[in-house]
Amino acid sequence: MNVIMSMLSLSLLFTTGMLINGKYLERELPRSARAANVEIGLYKTFMLLTSYYVTANRPPAGTISWQTIVQSSSTPDSMKNLALGSSWKAIVDSTGGFIICAKLDESATSGMTQLMQPAAAAQSVSSGGKNYLWYGDAGASATATQC
C-alpha cells in the first residue's frame, strides 16, 4: 500500500511539474529580450567592478580597459573569466566619477533605464558620425563622446 501511494505521489508531482513547466515556457521572453537581459547583467557587473577598481586605485583618472580591471587585485577571482570585448572600458575623472563605454545591442540600451535613478533619462549625443546614448548628469555628455 505504501509503495502504491509513493508511486501515486511521484506521478502527481511529475505531472504537476510538467504542467507548471509548460505554462512557464509559454511566458518565456523572446530571444532578443533574453540577449538584452544578459547584456544588462554584464553592464551591471562591469559597473560594479569599475567601482571596486576606482575605490582601490584613487585617483585613477583616465581610460581604464577591461584588461586592466580584470588583472586588478580588486576584481574577485570569480569574475575574472567574464568574456567582455575590447570595446568595454571606463573613463574616470579626477573625482572618481566614471562613465562606462560599451557597444550594446539597441534592445539592451532601452533596458538601461532599469539601472538608473527614476529622474535619469536617456540622452543622445552625436559626434564624428557616431551616436552615443548616455545616462546621468549633464557633465557626462562631454565624456560620452570620448568613448
Residue 10 covered by a domain: no
- C-alpha distances (whole Å) from 32 to each of 73, 107, 111, 119 are 35, 7, 12, 27
Residue 13 covered by a domain: no
Residue 134 covered by a domain: yes
Q: Return the DSSP state at 20.
A: H
Domain limits for position 85: 31-144
Residue 64 covered by a domain: yes
φ, ψ of residue 87 to 5 degrees: the values are -75, -15
Report the predicted TM-score, pTM, of the whole model to 2 decimal places: 0.64
φ, ψ of residue 80 to 5 degrees: the values are -80, -10
Give pLDDT tens digits along the chain (147 positions). 433 333 333 333 333 334 444 445 445 656 666 677 777 788 888 888 998 999 998 767 788 999 999 899 999 998 888 888 788 888 888 888 888 887 776 666 666 656 565 555 666 667 777 666 665 555 666 676 677
Residue 44 covered by a domain: yes
Nearest Cα to 105, choosing from 45, 39, 47? 39
Q: In the chain, how many domains are there?
A: 1
Looking at the DSSP assignment, which residues form a beta bridge with residue 124?
A: 133
Residue 40 covered by a domain: yes
Residue 115 covered by a domain: yes
- CA–CA separation, 40 vs 61, rounded Å? 25
- CA–CA separation, 127 vs 146, rounded Å? 9
- CA–CA separation, 30 vs 53, rounded Å? 35
Rg (the chain; Cα; Å): 22
- CA–CA separation, 66 vs 64, rounded Å? 7
